Structure 1
């Protein structure tokens, strides 16, 4: 792969390329990507979607929106620092083409901002709930009517693939989705492969999948424009866009440190653990007098968090540049922080977060409720959509159809896969509260 192709400013849906030197420096194309994502309705719904604690009533626990904003900030720093070093290594990118360090920062920040945009209600348990409906629930009846890859898309419903759909899917009056640059779309794709074969190798890019069968053509177009390296033979699998490693690092840094912080603020993890587990990361930067001068738990945690994030940013960039040539050739097969000298400390922090936060009674009980909500929504909507298509709709089915968006009712009705995908897509866009409210209305709870 080469950086000239990888930094494509061409917008999805365009036919013409865009030249960096012709860009308006006051509003660069990569910065427009950021604006389009942050003003989208799909991004706004993240303010009421679970990060760690479902339906938390506290004001300091992160939602998907605050998490995404923080990941984008960390991503911008990673991109700018790496961009500066890349331009020093390949000066023609700046001297001939006009690229600047901030371009790299804007690309990574935009992709990082969107990295969770496809997540359904109730976080990762929401993904699993959708998958279980098709794998073991009512949706199992559709298996023989779909191709293997179509059925796998539904059984392993993936937020990353759903995010790619949101960013690229055309609809009435909006050709090319959000019409982002190819560079940002490529950087967004952490797992540039289809749902089957499942985990064919231990390569990090094979851990999950990144697009549904309905977006296969869009994916191929982007991969070809950027010059991504093909990895699979018969099945679609490509090497990552190099900057996707920085998006992943930004996400890893934020959820490792900040989910840990949330657990302490919630009282699920003792404050003493913060210093014990973070000290080996911040040892070279911490000023003991300043730390002890801070009087509140929140201020002490904020200080340790800022030092830890700064340390991991610097190290992630160093690792990226050390392996930059292997990344370009598709030979780098793990996350950047897997090469970190703080890997043991990071694993310790994640382990205690899993035990004390992710598996806490409050989280588990709300995830159980989320399963029931999503199962009911899927059952009701898939039955109504399919019955209407087959001409056997009940009055209830017809009422349910009137509650759905126009484009979902009229588009893609001939394909069972697209009908089922449309239902999953619609549910995925619901916030946690909206999903619960819809569930209550279906059950008649608001009228009892």
Structure 2
């Protein structure tokens, strides 16, 4: 029995970046032998075991044969005589097909080390086309490694285009699509995930709501980049610079989905997009089965980003309505999440990347002033029942008005 460290752990070690998962492949063994050694069986479709001490995953070396549609349509074969090279050839990218034995010696039969040096994401074999999930995985790796200069090899992009046109992407489950999308949100360049999917034709299949934004114009005065799809990529980039929050990054990416359904007769204006985008986000989140916190923040940002951008023009009562709609009294962290998403939207425009977003400070000060209104003092003044809520709202409006007048007097607005 011989075991080898494989996949991301080897790749990231060679790149000098952090990796939190260590996966092993075991050659020359059987399930019975591993269990006798104290390994715990956890794999359903093929033999995967947890090490008795480290709990790291160990999979028996195996081969695969395409037997049906989709990424689950495979038959696995494992036996003690399956070689390491046979196991590695079934992997997606050459940089993920490098193995390291327990003495530190590398086995690299498919040129992964060369592609690491060349900064290429290249498929291991023509069997790449058999698994449609690999299109999304390559897009995610492109996002993860973009800051190091990695690009998708031309021949691999050609195979990704073939898969996108084959209809196989329709076999992917909602959970797997979201899993890859969510993982991309943790990378330094989540916009690259969307761009690569767009380049190979997959975006229209897996996230058509975003794909529809490309080619849709916006007013050049406010959007020198004009194209809404390009704007979305720019916003995604800015959001990643402003926040590590996956929810913020997701909300930024989908805040303009309503522009994708604006009638062409109304272009380049999109007066109703804050409203029409809500139903699209609802359906998108339902289809991909997103966690509620992602959906809720996305809806909040979609509904309110135009109001936040227009903070200087808003009446104090309208500012309070925005704060109420975000439920910031019970969930104060939500305000900052919305403001960061709006800030990304503002900066995600050609020539506006470094602009000061004073609306963020204004809303935070308005919120703090409203928060300091004391309910007990309202009760002490003799108000009862419904009048307490009405008086609370009025005093909060007055507090926000004080902030508004202070900003105007000190000329804080640019």
Which TM-score applies when normalising by structure 1? 0.30
Q: Which has the higher strand share?
A: 2
Structure of higher CA gyration radius: 2
TM-score normalised to the size of structure 2?
Answer: 0.32
| RCO higher in structure (CA 8 A, sep ≥6) | 1
The structure richer in helix per residue is: 1
